[in-house]
Amino acid sequence: MTAQLPELNQANQERLISLMGWLVLALAACAAILPLVGPAHGAIIISTMLTVAGLAEIVAGARRYETRKLAMLAGAITIIAGLLFATDQATHFLSGLIIIAGWLFLRSLVLGVACVLEHGAVRRWTGIAAATDFLLALVTAVGFSISSLVATLFGATPPLIASFAWLLAISFVATAMLLLQVASCVDTEKV
């Protein structure tokens, strides 16, 4: 027996998805100011931000039609990355980079598949979000060897922490724009 979500009219469905988009956009702003937070609290803040963003994606994804499972899977991947950040390993800068690179790469794959199945403006924004996460994963992977050398020699420096925060912020912005586009198409397309 599967649980059914209560039916929402189109206006309420649009509002709910839009609210989730704005929530993720607010998280992007928080990620952008993350370098101002002391490193002792950084891992738990990132963990919380990823978990909340993943929950927002799942809530919005549950209201979709064509790519519901894929949208929810992208949110679940984000939650898993958030939970991994809550572990002791994530307090090490290099482990955090691996978690973020893996999260971005897996999300880009899921969103890429969803992009193929969607149409219209939602397809375009899903493609943009997938490409953004893929490029950020590549940047993280390429920068990983340089970062590992710098972090090994000097520890996690403020520029490295700032670039890490910007990775989160950029991915969150792409996700928020996707959710806001989905919300705007609720009444015109089966999203």
Q: What is the pLDDT of residues 54-83, one digit of tens each?
A: 999 999 999 988 899 999 999 999 999 999
For residue 134, tell me if it sits in a domain: yes
Domain count, the chain: 1
Helix (H) or strand (E) holding 89: none
For residue 72, tell me if it sits in a domain: yes
For residue 5, tell me if it sits in a domain: no
Which residues constitute the domain of residue 149? 10-184
- Compare 78 and 151 and report the one with higher pLDDT: 78
Q: What is the pLDDT of residues 92-126, one digit of tens each?
A: 655 677 888 899 999 999 999 999 999 888 999 99
Determine the pLDDT at residue 185.
Answer: 86
Tokens of 35: 């370098």
For residue 189, tell me if it sits in a domain: no
DSSP label of 3: P
Helix, strand, coil abundance in the chain, percent, nearest 5 = 85, 0, 15
Whose tokens are 């149409």? That residue is: 119
Res. 34: pLDDT tops 60: yes
Long-range CB contact pairs, 126-131, < 8 A, 24+? 126/67, 126/178, 128/174, 128/177, 128/178, 129/174, 129/175, 129/177, 129/178
For residue 56, tell me if it sits in a domain: yes
pTM of the entire predicted model = 0.82
Measured CA to CA, the distance from residue 107 to residue 171 in angstroms comes to: 10
* Band of residue 157 on the pLDDT scale cut at 50, 70, 90: very low
Measured CA to CA, the distance from residue 46 to residue 58 in angstroms comes to: 18
For residue 1, tell me if it sits in a domain: no
For residue 130, tell me if it sits in a domain: yes
For residue 44, tell me if it sits in a domain: yes
What φ, ψ does residue 5 adopt, rounded to 5°?
-75, 145
